Amino acid sequence: MRYNHVCVEAFGYSLPPQVVTSAEIETQLAPLYERFHLPAGRLELMTGIRERRFWDRGVLPGQISAQTAERTLAAAQLDRKYIGCLVHGSVCRDRLEPATASGVHHALGLPGSALVLDVSNACLGLLNGMILLADMIELGHVRAGLVVGTEMGRDLVEGTIDSLLASPNLSKQDVKLAFASLTIGSGSAAVVLCDRALSKTGHRLLGGAFQADTSSHELCAGDVAAQTHGDDRPRMQTDSEALLHAGVELAEKTWQKTKESLNWTNDNVAKAFTHQVGRAHRKLLYERLKLDPALDFSTVEFLGNTGAAALPLTAAIGIERGHVAKGDKVALLGIGSGLNALMLGLDW
């Protein structure tokens, strides 16, 4: 997968106002910790996540996405008449139909000629949106487009806490399967892509590779099951250890294909951004890919796992804070449950 005519004109992000620490979550889970003799501080110790953020109650993903997209379009300094496609790529959406992208499109006042759609693929939705849009630009179907998404972690975290405390027959295995749900945070990210001829930045999207291992699709599964849990908040079960090793195995294969596609070696990579899972994932991923962890920029410590927004949100913050310099070759290392991996290369 190679692109000759696609540029990344801007990354943008929004952060929720409410901060919830791992210590606060453990305080709520104190009866559970006493029951199973779990040490305080376990959540942060095992994941590296000291806090995550939540949006105010009642806010819809599309409302935040519209705000994030508006700021990102402004940063790109690109006339919105050129926007030929809008993709909303987060797991969270306003409703089953219409597409959340429809409301965002209306709020932004984008052209009626633009293709408007939602794309959902666990933690890879926004990256998938990027390559769909990049393909359209490369083929000349559109001149520019926007990918945006907003994840809302509050209901999953609070629903998980309530379920853990309310279950009379809870086992240690049940706690283990619910543990990853407590790492979830909220966030919003957007990316503007355009034809190279329109670009003011020259930040090129070079291409990359994708790979799937769907034999592992049940290792992390989330759903809304009111008949089981008594409410309409989502719940998730994750075999974290098996997911870690299967995900890194797939990442290693995908990284090799990415380097072949881009004609890169590890020495070409100046900076990298990954999906934000936790301390153990980051360590093992960089070990297996044989990349220096110093190339990485991390937000998981203060944002938690923000789903499909995690990688582009982290890239936006990293770029804002000077992690990337002009001329850097930048790797975007995406992995999502399913399992799917998508890795992209940028020439900044």
Q: Where are the alpha helices (DSSP H) in the chain?
A: 22-28, 30-36, 42-47, 61-76, 100-108, 125-138, 154-166, 172-178, 226-229, 240-262, 279-289, 300-303, 310-320
Residue type, 197: A
Residue of 7, 85, 92, 123 marked catalytic = 123
Residue at token pair 């797939």: 250
- Report the alpha-carbon distance of residue 344 to residue 348 in Å, rounded: 13
Count other C-beta atoms under 10 Å from residue 191's C-beta: 28
In order, the DSSP letters of 268-309 are G--EEEE----HHHHHHHHHHHT--GGGB---HHHH-B-GGG
Q: Give the CA distances from residue 67 to residues 39, 63, 119, 127, 316, in Å, rounded to whole numbers and listed in that order.
A: 41, 7, 19, 20, 15
Told to judge if 7 belongs to the known catalytic residues of this protein, a careful annotator would answer: no
87 vs 67: CA distance, rounded Å: 15
Is the dihedral angle over the CA atoms 110, 307, 286, 322 positive or is it negative?
positive
The answer to whether 154 touches 55, Cβ cutoff 8 Å, is: yes
CB atoms within 10 A of CB 57: 9
Q: Which has the closest alpha carbon to 314: 344, 272, 278?
A: 272
Contacts of 102 (CB under 8 A, 6+ apart): 116
Contact 61, 92 (CB under 8 A): yes
65 contacts 104 by C-beta, under 8 angstroms: yes
Residue type, 87: V
Which residues are annotated as catalytic? 97, 123
